[in-house]
Amino acid sequence: MKQVLIETIPFSVNPIQLTEGLKALSGNPLVEGILATCEVKNGNGRYYAKDLWERELDKYMTLVKERRACGELDHPDSQVVNLKNVSHNISSIWWDGDNIMGKIEILPTPSGNILKSLIGSGIKVGVSSRGMGSLKQVGEVLEVQDDFELLCWDFVSTPSNPGSFMSPLREGLNSSPINPYAKVNSIVTEILCANGTCPIF
């Protein structure tokens, strides 16, 4: 039976690099690192075959190319990405051995601003794949079956795959201007979101 499968990887981002780092064409901060690792038992005891990830990434690349590879801050109990909770967009994906690497743009949405503030404050957050699929016990691992479908990657608080970290992209201090309104945006977001809910802008 298919179920929601969630895999989490920690990020390590230097707060100074986040504000001075390389920005997307839109001016939003970018982070880069490992999104997932295949052919090994992960922190959840699951095993993903490389050909399974290759198939799913081929399909997911359409979303990346169309700038629709969005994810949320925290995992919902849903099979869809809820646009009012979107915090980021994956701008590129590539392979490095058995690691799926990615470049992620943090968006200026309420959830994106929270994510940026957390990272800017030195809080470690994880990136986690969200997908649907079934599992089969094979020895000491739960093997993800061929019916797996990748939905997205979300940012979460609890990592299950230690050793994989994201870093802000940085080309030099003058490579991109620092947004002079970033502090104001941060304060306004903090005020608007103080009661635990953020309005959609």
Per-residue pLDDT tens over the stretch 150-165: 999 998 877 555 444 4
Closest CA to 49 of 146, 152, 130, 147: 146
80 compared with 182, residue with greater pLDDT: 80
Closest CA to 29 of 115, 107, 87: 107
Per-residue pLDDT band at 114 (split at 50, 70, 90): very high
In total, the chain counts a number of residues equal to 201
Per-residue pLDDT band at 42 (split at 50, 70, 90): confident
Phi, psi of 151, rounded to the nearest 5 degrees: -100, -50
Q: Indicate whether this model's pTM tops 0.85.
A: no
Domain residue ranges in the chain: 3-192
For the record, the structure tokens of 181 come out as 């309104």
What DSSP element (H or E) covers 93?
A: strand 86-96
77 compared with 25, residue with greater pLDDT: 77
Long-range contacts of 177-184 (CB under 8 A, 24+ apart): 178/19, 178/20, 179/27, 182/19
pLDDT at 108 over 90: yes
First to last CA, the chain: 39
Residues 18-37: tens digit of each pLDDT: 545 556 666 788 888 888 88
Residues 59-72: tens digit of each pLDDT: 999 999 999 999 99
pLDDT more than 90, % of the chain: 42
The per-residue pLDDT for 194 is 61
